[in-house]
Structure 1
C-alpha cells in the first residue's frame, strides 16, 4: 500500500495506523524529496499485515506546525452471493468522519461505472441507470456511518466485479473496495473479479490559481496549513499483486585486449 503527497511546503509528516489498532509494528518505508522550488514529494509504503484481512489502513499527512491532518483510509474484502438472491455489500465509515458524503461505483473489468451518490447536506441519494432497479441505500443510516448497499436480484454475468464505496469530507476520505462474486443459478461458480495490479484511491487534488509576479511563481497557502505552487495531490493506493521492485542488470564492460 502506498501513500503519496506532492507539491507541498513545508515538509509534511506522514503517519500510518490501523482500525482496529494492531500490536504489530507497521514499519512503513517513507521517502521525501524536494524540487527546485522547495516543494516536497513524499512516498510512504506499507506492507499489508498477513492474516488480518478486515483491517482499515489509515494514512495521515500533517504539517509540523499543527493544523488539520489530511487523512485517507482503505479497507478491502471479498464476498460471494447467488444469482437472484439479494446481497448486502457492507460499507462503514470510520468514527473520525463526521457527516460524510458517499459515492458507490462498480468495475467489472472495464472502466468504473457510477452507481449512486448520497448528498450529506440534502440527505438524498441519486442512482444511475441501469442500477435503479438493482440497488437500494438506507439514507437514514448513512449519517451514522453505515453506507451499506443492498444489491437486489443480482445477475451472474452483470454484477460480478469490484464495488467501491467512498465516504468523503474536507481533508478526509475513506474507501472500501469489495470484490463480489455472484454464482450462477445452476451452481456454476462466478468468475473472480479482475485482479488489478494497482488501484488508486485519490483523496484530494486541490487546484489553486498560480500567481506570477515578474515571472516568479508564488506559493499559495491552503487552509490545511500547506502551501502549494499549483496543486496539492494526496492519494492512497493499494497494490493487489504486492509491491515489487525490478533491479536492472548492469552490463559488464568488455575489457580491451592489451597491447
Structure 2
C-alpha cells in the first residue's frame, strides 16, 4: 500500500450553511493506490467516507452521511482529498479527521444558518420583531434613533425547531411620551446580523398621491422593495436583481408607478383605500420600513352626495 501525506493545516476551520453544500479541504501527495478515510471525531469517530482501491467503499459509511458525501475523484490523482458534504445539518458540525496512512490531519466544521430576513409589524401600541430558521442561537437587541433614556419594555422568546434551528420573536411597547422615535431591531449571530428600522407614521390625504419611502434612500438600485397595505396585503414587489416591479392584481388600477427612490404613486383612490401603507426596502444587512397613514378626503361632489 502506498501512503499519502495530507497538507491540510491542523485545526482548520470551515464554515458551513444549513442545508447547503460544504467542502472540507485537503490536498496531499498521492501514490498509485491512495487510501482516504474521513471520520467525524466529535461524534465518536463515525466513518464519513472511505476510499481505496480507486473507488468509494460506502459499505463502511455511517448512515448519517448516506448519499451526502463525495470526493473529487478526477482530482485525487492530482492530490485533492477534499470532501464535499451536501444537505448540511446541525448534527454535522464538529471536528473531522482525514486519515491517509500513516499521516492524518483534522478540520473543524461550524454550521451557520444566517439571519436571512427580519420581520417587523405594528399591532396597536406594540411592534413585533421576529426571524426564523437561525443557527446558532441568535441575539436580539432594540435601539432607537435618536438614542433615548427610555427603558424599552420588551418580551423576547426563543424556540428551537425539530431541525435544531432557532426562531426568535420580541414584542416592544411603544413610548407614549416620545412619539418621534425611530425604532431599530437587530438580530445577530457570530456569522451575520440584520436589522430592521421602523420609521414614524406620517399622514397624507388625496385621491391621487405619492407616498415616500425612507428619506435615507435616494435610489433603490441594489435593494429589494415591497409595498404593503395595512401591514399584510402586498401591493407590489421588486427584487434586488430586477429593474421592473410586479403589482398585485387587486392594486393594478391604483398603482400609477414607482419612483427611482421607491416612492409609490397612486391614483383613483376611494375610502376603501384608507389605511397604513408600508414601504419595506432591504439589502443584504438591513430592512428599512416606513409607515404612512393615508386618509381619503372627500371631494365637494362626494360631500354633497353624502
* Bin of the TM-score, shorter chain as denominator length: 0.5 to 0.7
1:72 to 180, 193, 196: 196
In structure 2, distance between residues paired with 1:117 and 1:106: 12
Q: Secondary structure at the match of 1:91?
A: coil
Q: Which segments of 5 or more consecutive residues in structure 2 lack a partner in the other structure?
A: 1-126
- Say if 2:186 is the partner of 1:60: yes
- Say if 2:259 is the partner of 1:138: yes
Q: Hey, which of these two has a bigger chunk of helix by percent?
A: 2
* Paired position in structure 1 for 2:228: 105
With over 3 angstroms needed to count, the CA separation of the structure-2 counterparts of 1:44 and 1:158, relative to structure 1, is closer
- Say if 2:149 is the partner of 1:23: yes
- Say if 2:263 is the partner of 1:148: yes
In structure 2, distance between residues paired with 1:88 and 1:13: 37
Structure with more contact order per residue of length (Cα contacts < 8 Å, sep ≥ 6): 1
Shift of 1:57: 1.8
* Paired position in structure 1 for 2:170: 44
* Paired position in structure 2 for 1:192: none
Kept in 1, the 8 Å contact 2:140–2:188? The answer is yes
1:76-122 C-alpha deviation (Å, 9 max, x unpaired)? 51414134xx4231211767x983111223359xx72x433334434
In structure 2, distance between residues paired with 1:174 and 1:22: 20
With over 3 angstroms needed to count, the CA separation of the structure-2 counterparts of 1:155 and 1:173, relative to structure 1, is same
- Counting matched residue pairs gives 173
Q: Secondary structure at the match of 2:299?
A: coil
Q: Which segments of 5 or more consecutive residues in structure 1 lack a partner in the other structure?
A: 189-259
Kept in 2, the 8 Å contact 1:11–1:40? The answer is yes
Shift of 1:16: 1.0
In structure 1, distance between residues paired with 2:164 and 2:272: 49
Kept in 1, the 8 Å contact 2:214–2:289? The answer is no
- Say if 2:300 is the partner of 1:183: no
In structure 2, distance between residues paired with 1:78 and 1:50: 16
Rg (Cα) greater in structure? 2
- Say if 2:244 is the partner of 1:124: yes
Kept in 2, the 8 Å contact 1:54–1:76? The answer is yes
Q: What's the TM-score once normalised by structure 2's chain length? A: 0.46
In structure 2, distance between residues paired with 1:68 and 1:25: 27
Q: Secondary structure at the match of 2:193?
A: strand
In structure 1, distance between residues paired with 2:166 and 2:243: 39
Shift of 1:132: 5.1
Kept in 2, the 8 Å contact 1:72–1:174? The answer is yes
What RMSD in Å do the two structures reach over aligned CA positions?
Answer: 3.4
In structure 2, distance between residues paired with 1:39 and 1:170: 21
